[in-house]
Amino acid sequence: MQPWIDPQMETILQRMKAGPAVDFRAMPIAEARVASDTATLPWSVGAPAIESRELRIPGPGHAMRARLYVPDGGQLSRLILYVHGGGWTFGSIDTHDGTMRGLAVEAGCPVLGIDYRLAPEHPFPAPLDDVLAAIDYVEQGGLGEPVRPGNLAIAGDSAGANLALAALIRRRDHDLAPLAAAALFYGCYEPDFGTASHAAFGGGDFLLTSANMRWYWNNFLGQEADSTASLAAPVRSDLSGLPPLYLSAAGLDPLRDDTIRLAHRLGEAGARFRFDHVPGVVHGCLRMWRELDAARAMLAAGGTYIADQLKNKKAGGNHPWNAGLSSS
């Protein structure tokens, strides 16, 4: 049985499939990044025109390019750190500009995006170290005034969701104060390619393929094997003591079952979270917000969840899962 595809998603897929096929794995990494950016950057055209400014913030032995977005009425006493996706290999504050602008508007508070170091040149734990350095920079007043952990949230999509979750676990393990909340959009949380969602959606009909995902994981893991128990695969860690989490999974995503497993494990740990399964859409759909109502709704749900936590509202809890979790 063919899976249901959101009609707006179907239109986008048909248009994208009509273009030339590109195999990033067969290209030099610098050339592959140019090709990826060329395909991704146009999605940010028409994003909300809010205040933004370019920054350089310190990382471990280097400086990171960063961008701060401030919506109308936004105060820097509350902030969301955004960690972009791209398989730890691609992506930047430019490719995710539209997503971050939209999140700032939906949450009603500033968003800080960072260009963490990319694999394969900088495999795990370098990207995670950069995310942790950015959190520390914000807490220590790098943006002009210190932001307390209770007023700071983190969000990320795909590989960025992996790094955001790992950062929360690392902070807990180092007895640092928890952040207020996190929004994790269609994340990849362990290198498991034997899931039902990989079998159903990883063949190439829905943009992200299992083969490309293996390549991304190889880039990120470096010398580590797929069996790693490190924070490169955060879902394998103890998940107790984390702040409230918003989780979303795309229904046509090879990584859908990563989020389902994370939700199960959070439930076992007694965590507070909300899980939305969004049927009929593909991995990476957030960047398609201009044409895809479901993507706008996903971003709005994550932004609202964070906003409620920053306002100390008891949003979420052990959220009743919605329907549509079958493998077809």
Q: What is the DSSP letter of 145?
A: S
**Would you call 158 helix, strand, or coil by DSSP?**
coil
C-alpha distances out from residue 60 to 129, 131, 138, 164, 210, Å = 7, 10, 15, 17, 32
264 is catalytic: no
Average pLDDT over residues 290-302: 97
- On the question of pLDDT at 324 being above 60, the answer is no
Q: For a pLDDT cut of 90, what percent of the chain falls above it?
A: 91
Q: Which of 6, 97, 129, 253 is the catalytic position?
A: 253
- What was the pLDDT predicted at 13? 97
Encode pLDDT of 77-123 as tens digits: 999 999 999 999 999 999 999 999 999 999 999 999 999 999 999 99
Domain ranges of the chain: 7-310
Average pLDDT over residues 296-323: 73
Q: Which of 44, 158, 237, 248 is the catalytic position?
A: 158
283 is catalytic: yes
- On the question of pLDDT at 317 being above 60, the answer is no
Mean pLDDT over each residue of the chain, to the nearest integer: 94
Encode pLDDT of 221-251 as tens digits: 999 999 999 999 999 999 999 999 999 999 9
First-residue to last-residue Cα distance in the chain: 7
- What was the pLDDT predicted at 11? 98
- What was the pLDDT predicted at 20? 85
How many C-beta atoms lie closer than 10 Å to residue 98's C-beta? Answer: 24
How many C-beta atoms lie closer than 10 Å to residue 21's C-beta? Answer: 6
- On the question of pLDDT at 288 being above 50, the answer is yes
- On the question of pLDDT at 159 being above 50, the answer is yes
- On the question of pLDDT at 328 being above 60, the answer is no
pTM for the whole thing?
0.95
- What was the pLDDT predicted at 127? 98
253 is catalytic: yes
Question: Residue 247: what are its φ and ψ, rounded to 5°?
Answer: -120, 140
How many C-beta atoms lie closer than 10 Å to residue 15's C-beta? Answer: 10
- What was the pLDDT predicted at 323? 31
Average pLDDT over residues 217-222: 98
Pairing of strands 51-59, 62-70: antiparallel
**Would you call 278 helix, strand, or coil by DSSP?**
strand
Give the strand order in the sheet containing 273-278: 51-59, 62-70, 111-114, 79-83, 152-157, 181-185, 245-250, 273-278
C-alpha distances out from residue 80 to 1, 49, 283, Å = 41, 18, 22
Domain 7-310 belongs in CATH node 3.40.50.410: no
Q: Which uninterrupted H or E stretch holds 81?
A: strand 79-83
Q: Which of 84, 96, 277, 283 is the catalytic position?
A: 283
Integer Cα distance of 212 and 166 in angstroms: 22
Position 49 confidence tier, pLDDT thresholds 50, 70, 90: very high
- On the question of pLDDT at 43 being above 60, the answer is yes
